Structure 1
Amino acid sequence: MGTDVSSPLRTSLFESASLWFRRARASLLEAIPCGRACCECCIGIFPITRLDAQELRRGLDALDPTQREAIVARATNQVGLIEASYPSLRSTPCLDEWADSTLDAIAEQFADLPCPALGTDGSCLVYASRPITCRTMGIPTESNGMVEGACTVQTAVPIIRLSHSLQAESVRLAEHEAAALFVAGQVQSQRGDELLLPYGFL
Protein backbone atom coordinates (compact mmCIF):
# COMPACT_ATOMS: atom_id res chain seq x y z
CA MET A 1 0.00 0.00 0.00
CA GLY A 2 2.99 2.33 -0.36
CA THR A 3 5.76 3.82 1.72
CA ASP A 4 5.10 4.16 5.42
CA VAL A 5 4.85 7.66 6.83
CA SER A 6 6.34 8.03 10.31
CA SER A 7 5.15 11.46 11.36
CA PRO A 8 4.43 13.22 14.67
CA LEU A 9 1.32 14.57 12.94
CA ARG A 10 0.06 11.04 12.30
CA THR A 11 1.04 9.75 15.74
CA SER A 12 -0.64 12.61 17.59
CA LEU A 13 -3.78 12.09 15.49
CA PHE A 14 -4.37 8.60 16.86
CA GLU A 15 -3.52 9.69 20.40
CA SER A 16 -5.91 12.65 20.08
CA ALA A 17 -8.72 10.39 18.85
CA SER A 18 -8.34 8.06 21.83
CA LEU A 19 -8.20 10.99 24.25
CA TRP A 20 -11.30 12.56 22.70
CA PHE A 21 -13.23 9.31 23.14
CA ARG A 22 -12.23 9.01 26.80
CA ARG A 23 -13.27 12.61 27.49
CA ALA A 24 -16.53 12.23 25.58
CA ARG A 25 -17.36 8.99 27.36
CA ALA A 26 -16.67 10.55 30.76
CA SER A 27 -18.86 13.54 29.88
CA LEU A 28 -21.75 11.18 29.15
CA LEU A 29 -21.57 9.85 32.72
CA GLU A 30 -20.24 6.48 31.54
CA ALA A 31 -23.57 5.77 29.80
CA ILE A 32 -21.72 4.32 26.80
CA PRO A 33 -21.90 0.50 27.03
CA CYS A 34 -18.75 -0.12 24.95
CA GLY A 35 -16.29 -2.48 26.61
CA ARG A 36 -14.00 -5.41 26.05
CA ALA A 37 -15.71 -8.22 24.09
CA CYS A 38 -18.57 -5.92 23.03
CA CYS A 39 -17.90 -6.36 19.33
CA GLU A 40 -21.13 -5.27 17.65
CA CYS A 41 -19.21 -2.58 15.74
CA CYS A 42 -16.50 -5.08 14.70
CA ILE A 43 -18.87 -6.83 12.29
CA GLY A 44 -19.19 -5.45 8.78
CA ILE A 45 -16.82 -3.61 6.46
CA PHE A 46 -16.31 0.13 6.23
CA PRO A 47 -13.82 2.60 4.73
CA ILE A 48 -10.58 3.38 6.52
CA THR A 49 -7.84 5.83 5.54
CA ARG A 50 -4.31 5.13 4.35
CA LEU A 51 -3.19 6.38 7.80
CA ASP A 52 -5.33 3.69 9.41
CA ALA A 53 -3.79 1.09 7.10
CA GLN A 54 -0.28 2.15 8.15
CA GLU A 55 -1.29 1.88 11.79
CA LEU A 56 -2.84 -1.56 11.26
CA ARG A 57 0.34 -2.83 9.65
CA ARG A 58 2.34 -1.55 12.62
CA GLY A 59 0.00 -3.54 14.81
CA LEU A 60 0.48 -6.64 12.68
CA ASP A 61 4.25 -6.29 12.89
CA ALA A 62 4.01 -6.39 16.69
CA LEU A 63 2.18 -9.75 16.71
CA ASP A 64 3.74 -13.17 16.73
CA PRO A 65 3.96 -14.71 13.23
CA THR A 66 1.12 -17.18 13.79
CA GLN A 67 -1.38 -14.49 14.80
CA ARG A 68 -0.21 -12.15 12.05
CA GLU A 69 -0.50 -14.79 9.34
CA ALA A 70 -3.99 -15.77 10.51
CA ILE A 71 -5.22 -12.17 10.33
CA VAL A 72 -3.66 -11.62 6.90
CA ALA A 73 -5.24 -14.88 5.68
CA ARG A 74 -8.69 -13.76 6.85
CA ALA A 75 -8.21 -10.35 5.22
CA THR A 76 -7.04 -11.96 1.98
CA ASN A 77 -10.09 -14.22 1.94
CA GLN A 78 -12.43 -11.27 2.52
CA VAL A 79 -10.78 -9.23 -0.23
CA GLY A 80 -11.28 -12.18 -2.57
CA LEU A 81 -14.98 -12.35 -1.71
CA ILE A 82 -15.46 -8.62 -2.22
CA GLU A 83 -13.54 -8.48 -5.49
CA ALA A 84 -15.52 -11.44 -6.85
CA SER A 85 -18.60 -9.22 -6.65
CA TYR A 86 -16.82 -5.94 -7.47
CA PRO A 87 -13.92 -6.79 -9.84
CA SER A 88 -13.06 -3.11 -10.35
CA LEU A 89 -11.61 -3.06 -6.84
CA ARG A 90 -8.71 -5.15 -8.11
CA SER A 91 -7.41 -2.19 -10.08
CA THR A 92 -9.00 0.62 -8.04
CA PRO A 93 -8.92 -0.31 -4.33
CA CYS A 94 -9.02 3.35 -3.27
CA LEU A 95 -12.62 4.41 -2.73
CA ASP A 96 -12.43 8.15 -3.32
CA GLU A 97 -13.86 7.93 -6.85
CA TRP A 98 -16.51 5.33 -6.02
CA ALA A 99 -20.13 6.45 -5.76
CA ASP A 100 -21.62 6.52 -2.26
CA SER A 101 -24.48 4.31 -3.47
CA THR A 102 -21.99 1.63 -4.54
CA LEU A 103 -20.13 1.80 -1.24
CA ASP A 104 -23.45 1.47 0.60
CA ALA A 105 -24.27 -1.59 -1.50
CA ILE A 106 -20.90 -3.18 -0.72
CA ALA A 107 -21.33 -2.51 3.00
CA GLU A 108 -24.82 -4.02 2.95
CA GLN A 109 -23.76 -7.11 0.99
CA PHE A 110 -20.85 -7.85 3.33
CA ALA A 111 -22.42 -6.63 6.56
CA ASP A 112 -21.78 -9.98 8.25
CA LEU A 113 -18.01 -10.07 7.68
CA PRO A 114 -16.11 -9.74 10.98
CA CYS A 115 -13.00 -7.61 11.16
CA PRO A 116 -9.99 -9.79 10.28
CA ALA A 117 -8.42 -8.79 13.62
CA LEU A 118 -11.42 -9.78 15.75
CA GLY A 119 -10.36 -12.46 18.23
CA THR A 120 -12.47 -15.48 19.13
CA ASP A 121 -13.13 -13.92 22.55
CA GLY A 122 -14.51 -10.74 20.98
CA SER A 123 -11.40 -8.69 21.61
CA CYS A 124 -9.33 -6.76 19.06
CA LEU A 125 -5.97 -8.38 18.31
CA VAL A 126 -4.47 -5.06 17.16
CA TYR A 127 -6.26 -2.81 19.66
CA ALA A 128 -3.35 -0.41 20.17
CA SER A 129 -3.22 0.14 16.39
CA ARG A 130 -6.94 0.27 15.62
CA PRO A 131 -8.31 2.79 13.06
CA ILE A 132 -9.65 6.24 13.96
CA THR A 133 -13.22 5.06 13.35
CA CYS A 134 -12.74 2.29 15.89
CA ARG A 135 -11.20 4.67 18.43
CA THR A 136 -14.14 7.07 18.27
CA MET A 137 -16.99 4.60 17.73
CA GLY A 138 -19.61 4.47 20.48
CA ILE A 139 -20.26 8.16 21.07
CA PRO A 140 -23.83 9.16 20.08
CA THR A 141 -24.05 11.10 16.83
CA GLU A 142 -26.12 14.18 16.09
CA SER A 143 -27.73 15.10 12.78
CA ASN A 144 -30.26 17.88 12.17
CA GLY A 145 -30.76 18.29 15.89
CA MET A 146 -31.48 14.59 16.47
CA VAL A 147 -29.17 12.51 18.68
CA GLU A 148 -28.85 8.83 17.84
CA GLY A 149 -27.00 5.89 19.33
CA ALA A 150 -23.86 4.85 17.49
CA CYS A 151 -24.91 1.20 17.17
CA THR A 152 -27.79 -1.18 17.86
CA VAL A 153 -26.49 -1.91 21.37
CA GLN A 154 -27.13 1.71 22.31
CA THR A 155 -30.86 1.52 21.69
CA ALA A 156 -31.21 0.27 25.27
CA VAL A 157 -29.27 3.07 26.99
CA PRO A 158 -29.96 6.80 27.49
CA ILE A 159 -28.77 8.90 24.55
CA ILE A 160 -27.19 12.18 25.64
CA ARG A 161 -26.02 15.05 23.44
CA LEU A 162 -22.30 15.89 23.56
CA SER A 163 -21.27 19.30 24.88
CA HIS A 164 -20.49 22.04 22.36
CA SER A 165 -16.81 21.96 23.33
CA LEU A 166 -16.53 18.23 22.61
CA GLN A 167 -18.40 18.66 19.34
CA ALA A 168 -15.94 21.40 18.37
CA GLU A 169 -13.06 19.15 19.36
CA SER A 170 -14.47 16.46 17.08
CA VAL A 171 -14.39 18.93 14.18
CA ARG A 172 -10.77 19.80 14.97
CA LEU A 173 -9.93 16.09 15.05
CA ALA A 174 -11.38 15.71 11.55
CA GLU A 175 -9.29 18.67 10.38
CA HIS A 176 -6.21 17.10 11.97
CA GLU A 177 -6.91 13.87 10.09
CA ALA A 178 -7.31 15.75 6.80
CA ALA A 179 -3.98 17.51 7.35
CA ALA A 180 -2.21 14.23 8.12
CA LEU A 181 -3.70 12.64 5.00
CA PHE A 182 -2.51 15.57 2.91
CA VAL A 183 1.03 15.14 4.21
CA ALA A 184 0.89 11.39 3.58
CA GLY A 185 -0.37 11.99 0.06
CA GLN A 186 2.54 14.32 -0.67
CA VAL A 187 5.06 11.73 0.55
CA GLN A 188 3.50 8.67 -1.07
CA SER A 189 2.26 10.24 -4.31
CA GLN A 190 -0.78 7.95 -4.21
CA ARG A 191 -4.27 8.63 -5.46
CA GLY A 192 -7.07 8.30 -2.96
CA ASP A 193 -7.27 8.42 0.81
CA GLU A 194 -9.70 5.60 1.63
CA LEU A 195 -9.94 1.85 1.18
CA LEU A 196 -12.11 -0.91 2.62
CA LEU A 197 -11.07 -2.32 6.00
CA PRO A 198 -9.76 -5.75 4.86
CA TYR A 199 -7.31 -4.08 2.45
CA GLY A 200 -5.69 -2.30 5.39
CA PHE A 201 -4.22 -5.56 6.62
CA LEU A 202 -2.52 -6.41 3.31
Structure 2
Amino acid sequence: MCRSRTKTNVSRAPSTLFEKTTRWFERSKASLLGHLPCGQGCSNCCVGLFPVTILDRQEIQRGLRTLPDEQRKRIEQTASEQVAALTTAAPYLNTNRFIDRWREEDIDRFTERFEAWPCPALEKDGGCGLYEFRPLVCRSMGIPAESDGVLSGACAVQTAVPVIRLSKALREEENLLAEMEAEELAAVRQHDGAQGEELFLPFAFLPDVGTEKTTDTT
Protein backbone atom coordinates (compact mmCIF):
# COMPACT_ATOMS: atom_id res chain seq x y z
CA MET A 1 0.00 0.00 0.00
CA CYS A 2 1.30 3.42 -0.91
CA ARG A 3 1.99 5.47 2.22
CA SER A 4 2.74 9.09 2.93
CA ARG A 5 6.44 9.85 3.18
CA THR A 6 5.90 12.21 6.09
CA LYS A 7 3.11 12.77 8.54
CA THR A 8 1.15 15.75 7.27
CA ASN A 9 -0.06 18.27 9.81
CA VAL A 10 -2.97 20.04 8.18
CA SER A 11 -6.19 21.67 9.25
CA ARG A 12 -9.21 20.79 7.16
CA ALA A 13 -12.90 20.08 7.44
CA PRO A 14 -13.41 16.38 8.21
CA SER A 15 -15.06 14.17 5.62
CA THR A 16 -17.09 11.58 7.49
CA LEU A 17 -17.34 9.19 4.54
CA PHE A 18 -13.59 9.22 3.89
CA GLU A 19 -12.73 8.80 7.55
CA LYS A 20 -15.28 6.01 8.01
CA THR A 21 -13.83 4.20 5.00
CA THR A 22 -10.33 4.47 6.46
CA ARG A 23 -11.50 3.05 9.79
CA TRP A 24 -13.35 0.23 8.00
CA PHE A 25 -10.17 -0.67 6.14
CA GLU A 26 -8.11 -0.76 9.32
CA ARG A 27 -10.62 -3.05 11.05
CA SER A 28 -10.88 -5.25 7.97
CA LYS A 29 -7.11 -5.47 7.69
CA ALA A 30 -6.83 -6.44 11.36
CA SER A 31 -9.45 -9.16 10.90
CA LEU A 32 -7.36 -10.75 8.13
CA LEU A 33 -4.71 -11.64 10.73
CA GLY A 34 -1.67 -10.39 8.86
CA HIS A 35 -2.53 -12.05 5.55
CA LEU A 36 -2.98 -8.71 3.78
CA PRO A 37 0.32 -8.04 1.96
CA CYS A 38 -0.25 -4.29 1.65
CA GLY A 39 2.33 -2.17 3.41
CA GLN A 40 4.53 0.87 3.17
CA GLY A 41 6.66 0.80 0.03
CA CYS A 42 4.22 -1.32 -1.99
CA SER A 43 2.77 0.89 -4.71
CA ASN A 44 1.44 -1.75 -7.09
CA CYS A 45 -2.09 -0.34 -6.82
CA CYS A 46 -0.80 3.20 -7.45
CA VAL A 47 0.08 2.42 -11.07
CA GLY A 48 -2.59 2.35 -13.73
CA LEU A 49 -5.52 4.41 -14.94
CA PHE A 50 -8.82 4.09 -13.07
CA PRO A 51 -12.01 6.10 -12.47
CA VAL A 52 -12.64 8.23 -9.40
CA THR A 53 -15.65 10.30 -8.41
CA ILE A 54 -16.42 13.96 -7.90
CA LEU A 55 -16.21 13.29 -4.15
CA ASP A 56 -12.66 12.03 -4.63
CA ARG A 57 -11.87 15.09 -6.71
CA GLN A 58 -13.02 17.39 -3.91
CA GLU A 59 -10.73 15.57 -1.47
CA ILE A 60 -7.77 15.68 -3.87
CA GLN A 61 -8.27 19.39 -4.45
CA ARG A 62 -8.31 20.01 -0.69
CA GLY A 63 -5.08 18.10 -0.41
CA LEU A 64 -3.36 19.96 -3.23
CA ARG A 65 -4.04 23.25 -1.48
CA THR A 66 -2.02 22.05 1.53
CA LEU A 67 1.13 21.20 -0.45
CA PRO A 68 4.21 23.34 -1.04
CA ASP A 69 4.01 25.05 -4.43
CA GLU A 70 6.83 23.02 -5.96
CA GLN A 71 5.28 19.68 -5.04
CA ARG A 72 1.78 20.76 -6.08
CA LYS A 73 2.98 22.03 -9.45
CA ARG A 74 4.90 18.80 -10.07
CA ILE A 75 1.79 16.72 -9.39
CA GLU A 76 -0.41 18.96 -11.53
CA GLN A 77 2.14 18.85 -14.37
CA THR A 78 2.08 15.05 -14.40
CA ALA A 79 -1.72 15.11 -14.37
CA SER A 80 -1.79 17.66 -17.20
CA GLU A 81 0.43 15.47 -19.36
CA GLN A 82 -1.78 12.45 -18.73
CA VAL A 83 -4.94 14.46 -19.46
CA ALA A 84 -3.40 15.64 -22.74
CA ALA A 85 -2.80 12.02 -23.76
CA LEU A 86 -6.35 11.04 -22.77
CA THR A 87 -7.98 13.87 -24.69
CA THR A 88 -5.84 13.06 -27.73
CA ALA A 89 -7.02 9.45 -27.58
CA ALA A 90 -10.63 10.51 -26.95
CA PRO A 91 -11.23 14.11 -28.14
CA TYR A 92 -14.77 14.14 -26.72
CA LEU A 93 -13.19 14.27 -23.26
CA ASN A 94 -12.39 17.90 -24.08
CA THR A 95 -16.07 18.80 -23.77
CA ASN A 96 -17.26 16.24 -21.23
CA ARG A 97 -14.74 14.70 -18.85
CA PHE A 98 -17.26 12.37 -17.23
CA ILE A 99 -17.39 8.68 -18.13
CA ASP A 100 -20.64 7.64 -16.44
CA ARG A 101 -22.24 6.77 -19.78
CA TRP A 102 -19.22 5.01 -21.23
CA ARG A 103 -19.55 1.31 -21.96
CA GLU A 104 -17.59 -0.92 -19.60
CA GLU A 105 -15.55 -2.29 -22.49
CA ASP A 106 -14.50 1.24 -23.48
CA ILE A 107 -13.38 2.04 -19.94
CA ASP A 108 -11.50 -1.26 -19.82
CA ARG A 109 -9.84 -0.46 -23.14
CA PHE A 110 -8.54 2.83 -21.79
CA THR A 111 -7.36 1.39 -18.49
CA GLU A 112 -5.46 -1.32 -20.36
CA ARG A 113 -3.95 1.17 -22.80
CA PHE A 114 -2.63 3.39 -20.02
CA GLU A 115 -1.99 0.70 -17.40
CA ALA A 116 1.64 1.77 -16.90
CA TRP A 117 0.77 5.30 -15.77
CA PRO A 118 1.70 6.13 -12.17
CA CYS A 119 -0.76 8.14 -10.12
CA PRO A 120 0.24 11.83 -10.40
CA ALA A 121 0.67 11.89 -6.60
CA LEU A 122 3.01 8.87 -6.51
CA GLU A 123 6.43 9.97 -5.31
CA LYS A 124 9.74 8.51 -6.48
CA ASP A 125 10.22 6.63 -3.20
CA GLY A 126 6.85 4.89 -3.56
CA GLY A 127 5.10 7.17 -1.09
CA CYS A 128 1.90 9.08 -1.71
CA GLY A 129 2.10 12.85 -1.89
CA LEU A 130 -1.57 13.15 -0.93
CA TYR A 131 -2.01 10.19 1.41
CA GLU A 132 -4.28 11.99 3.88
CA PHE A 133 -6.50 13.07 0.96
CA ARG A 134 -6.45 9.91 -1.16
CA PRO A 135 -9.62 8.73 -2.99
CA LEU A 136 -12.07 6.26 -1.48
CA VAL A 137 -10.92 3.45 -3.75
CA CYS A 138 -7.36 3.94 -2.48
CA ARG A 139 -8.53 3.82 1.14
CA SER A 140 -10.23 0.46 0.66
CA MET A 141 -7.81 -1.10 -1.83
CA GLY A 142 -6.26 -4.35 -0.67
CA ILE A 143 -9.28 -5.95 0.96
CA PRO A 144 -10.24 -9.11 -0.99
CA ALA A 145 -13.34 -8.63 -3.11
CA GLU A 146 -16.32 -10.96 -2.88
CA SER A 147 -18.96 -11.52 -5.54
CA ASP A 148 -21.62 -14.23 -5.37
CA GLY A 149 -19.65 -15.94 -2.63
CA VAL A 150 -16.43 -16.04 -4.66
CA LEU A 151 -13.33 -14.33 -3.22
CA SER A 152 -10.62 -12.73 -5.32
CA GLY A 153 -7.45 -10.85 -4.46
CA ALA A 154 -7.58 -7.08 -4.86
CA CYS A 155 -4.36 -6.94 -6.91
CA ALA A 156 -1.69 -9.12 -8.49
CA VAL A 157 0.40 -9.07 -5.30
CA GLN A 158 -2.35 -10.91 -3.44
CA THR A 159 -2.33 -13.90 -5.77
CA ALA A 160 0.67 -15.28 -3.86
CA VAL A 161 -0.97 -15.22 -0.43
CA PRO A 162 -4.06 -16.87 1.07
CA VAL A 163 -7.28 -14.94 0.55
CA ILE A 164 -9.44 -14.81 3.67
CA ARG A 165 -13.14 -14.00 3.79
CA LEU A 166 -14.26 -10.93 5.72
CA SER A 167 -16.88 -11.28 8.42
CA LYS A 168 -20.53 -10.67 7.58
CA ALA A 169 -20.54 -7.58 9.80
CA LEU A 170 -17.64 -6.00 7.91
CA ARG A 171 -19.25 -6.76 4.55
CA GLU A 172 -22.49 -5.20 5.75
CA GLU A 173 -20.57 -2.11 6.85
CA GLU A 174 -18.93 -1.99 3.42
CA ASN A 175 -22.38 -1.99 1.81
CA LEU A 176 -23.52 0.83 4.10
CA LEU A 177 -20.47 2.88 3.09
CA ALA A 178 -21.36 2.31 -0.57
CA GLU A 179 -24.89 3.57 0.10
CA MET A 180 -23.50 6.59 1.91
CA GLU A 181 -21.21 7.34 -1.03
CA ALA A 182 -24.12 7.12 -3.48
CA GLU A 183 -26.16 9.57 -1.40
CA GLU A 184 -23.30 12.06 -1.14
CA LEU A 185 -22.57 11.79 -4.85
CA ALA A 186 -26.18 12.53 -5.70
CA ALA A 187 -26.19 15.54 -3.37
CA VAL A 188 -22.95 16.99 -4.75
CA ARG A 189 -24.01 16.40 -8.34
CA GLN A 190 -27.33 18.15 -7.76
CA HIS A 191 -25.69 21.05 -5.93
CA ASP A 192 -22.97 21.57 -8.55
CA GLY A 193 -25.11 20.74 -11.57
CA ALA A 194 -22.36 18.41 -12.78
CA GLN A 195 -22.80 16.33 -15.92
CA GLY A 196 -21.67 13.15 -14.18
CA GLU A 197 -20.07 11.50 -11.17
CA GLU A 198 -17.07 9.56 -12.51
CA LEU A 199 -13.95 10.70 -14.31
CA PHE A 200 -10.50 9.28 -14.94
CA LEU A 201 -8.05 9.94 -12.11
CA PRO A 202 -5.76 12.52 -13.83
CA PHE A 203 -8.67 14.92 -14.36
CA ALA A 204 -9.25 15.06 -10.59
CA PHE A 205 -5.89 16.78 -10.06
CA LEU A 206 -6.66 19.74 -12.30
CA PRO A 207 -8.52 22.66 -10.74
CA ASP A 208 -10.64 23.47 -13.79
CA VAL A 209 -12.20 20.06 -14.44
CA GLY A 210 -14.72 17.85 -12.73
CA THR A 211 -17.16 20.70 -12.21
CA GLU A 212 -18.65 21.10 -15.68
CA LYS A 213 -22.25 22.17 -15.40
CA THR A 214 -25.19 20.56 -17.09
CA THR A 215 -26.29 22.83 -19.89
CA ASP A 216 -29.86 23.22 -21.05
CA THR A 217 -29.98 22.84 -24.83
CA THR A 218 -33.73 23.09 -25.15
Provide the TM-score with structure 1 as the length reference.
Answer: 0.94
* Counterpart residue number, 2:211: none
Q: Percent same amino acid among aligned pairs?
A: 47
SS of the aligned residue for 1:162 comes to coil
Structure 1 residues 7, 49: closer, same or farther in 2, change over 3 A?
farther
User: Which structure 2 residues correspond to residues 127-138 of structure 1 after superposition, within 5 A?
Assistant: 127-138=131-142
What CA distance in whole angstroms lies between the structure 1 residues aligned with 2:64 and 2:185? 21
**1:71 partner amino acid:** I
- Matching residue within 183, 187, 201 for 1:183: 187
Equivalent residue for 1:144? 148
Q: CA–CA distance in 1 between the matches of 2:187 and 2:148?
A: 32
Provide the C-alpha distance between the structure 2 equivalents of 1:81 and 1:37, rounded to a whole number of angstroms. 28
> Quick one: distance in 1 between partners of 2:147 and 2:187?
30
Distance of 1:164 and 1:7 partners within structure 2: 32
The answer for unaligned runs of 5 or more in structure 1 is 1-5
AA aligned opposite 1:156: A
What is the identity, as a one-letter code, of the residue corresponding to 2:116?
D
Runs ≥4 in structure 1, deviation > 6 angstroms?
A: none
Letter of the 1:53 partner, please give it.
R
State the match for 1:165 in structure 2: 169
Give how far 1:190 is off. 1.0
Q: What whole-Å deviation, never above 9, does each CA across 1:40-88 have from its counterpart, x for those lacking one?
A: 0000011100010010011111100000000000000001111111111
Letter in 2 for 1:43: V
Q: Which residue is 1:103 aligned to?
A: 107
Q: Aligned match of 2:85 in 81, 87, 104?
A: 81
Residue of structure 2 in register with 1:193 after alignment: 197
Counterpart pick for 1:52 among 45, 56, 59 = 56
Looking at structure 2, the residues matched to 25 and 178 of structure 1 have their Cα atoms a distance apart, in angstroms, of: 24
Structure 2, unaligned stretches of length 5 or more? 1-11, 207-218
Shift of 1:30: 2.1
Residue 94 of structure 1, aligned match among 93, 98, 107: 98
Give the drift of 1:162.
0.7
Amino acid at match of 1:98: W
State the 1:158 CA deviation.
1.1
Out of 68, 74, 83, the residue aligned to residue 70 of structure 1 is 74
CA RMSD of aligned residues (A): 1.2
Question: Once structures 1 and 2 are overlaid, which stretch shifts more, 144-153 or 69-78?
Answer: 144-153
SS state at 1:177 partner: helix
Aligned to 1:3: none
User: Scaled by the length of structure 2, what TM-score is found?
Assistant: 0.87
Q: What is the CA distance between 1:186 and its match in structure 2?
A: 2.0
| Aligned counterparts of 1:108 and 1:84: Cα–Cα separation in 2 | 16
Q: Name the residue aligned to 1:25.
A: 29
Opposite residue 117 of structure 1, the aligned amino acid is: A
